[in-house]
A and B are shown apart, each in its own frame.
Chain A
Amino acid sequence: KNQVEQSPQSLIILEGKNCTLQCNYTVSPFSNLRWYKQDTGRGPVSLTIMTFSENTKSNGRYTATLDADTKQSSLHITASQLSDSASYICVVSEADSWGKLQFGAGTQVVVTP
């Protein structure tokens, strides 16, 4: 069973609207959680990285939240743009296993004009 579950699997939003992506994980012990953006035909690019003690982290129009108690994270995209169309991947790092990551399946976001 995948230790990182993302929802929804895909969504379509109108340009200018906001959206929120969800990530639930069971990885333990927890080290940090990252959100990556993967454009079609490109490798994943890091948006945010949060450790246990961080609740919120922003990167421009992207805001990630983390609730380490409930093992949930979200990624909020504000005022979406066409260039936001991509797959967004939630990735959790295990403590004591340096470099080893657990990947979610990703949420495919399509922003339409």
Chain B
Amino acid sequence: SAVISQKPSRDICQRGTSLTIQCQVDSQVTMMFWYRQQPGQSLTLIATANQGSEATYESGFVIDKFPISRPNLTFSTLTVSNMSPEDSSIYLCSVDPGLGQPQHFGDGTRLSIL
């Protein structure tokens, strides 16, 4: 199964700043996903990132706030821009290995905004 590494694992940031989260996979995958998980709640899909194309954002999420890069088949970044306390959350990336296998998740980035 795919091994996913996310960096940083946690961070505390100042209001108005931006943070870029990295997601590295140990194998080539077509589809990568970025999720947000607010405290005590389930996961919410932010966007789908396919290599070679623009990310597809879900309702309520926009590229200006959450720009995503997908430069190759093993790496993606999510930037949380102009952060406010409401952005305090866990951000997770996942990959779809295909062949009917379930999505694999990274351990997430725990973000706190002061």
Contacts and interface: CB of A to CB of B under 8 A. Distances in A.
Contact of B107 (A41, A100, A103, A105): A41
B33 interface: yes
Interface size class of B (residues with CB under 8 A): 20 to 34
A43 interface: yes
B102 A99 contact: no
Contacts of A46: 102-104
Given A43-B108, A44-B105, A99-B96, A105 B31 contact: no
A45 B107 CA distance: 10
Interface of A: 2, 32, 34, 36, 41-46, 49, 51, 89, 98-101, 103-106
A99 B33 contact: yes
Contact of A106 (B33, B42, B102, B105): B42
A41 B101 CA distance: 23
B92 A105 contact: no
A101 B107 contact: no
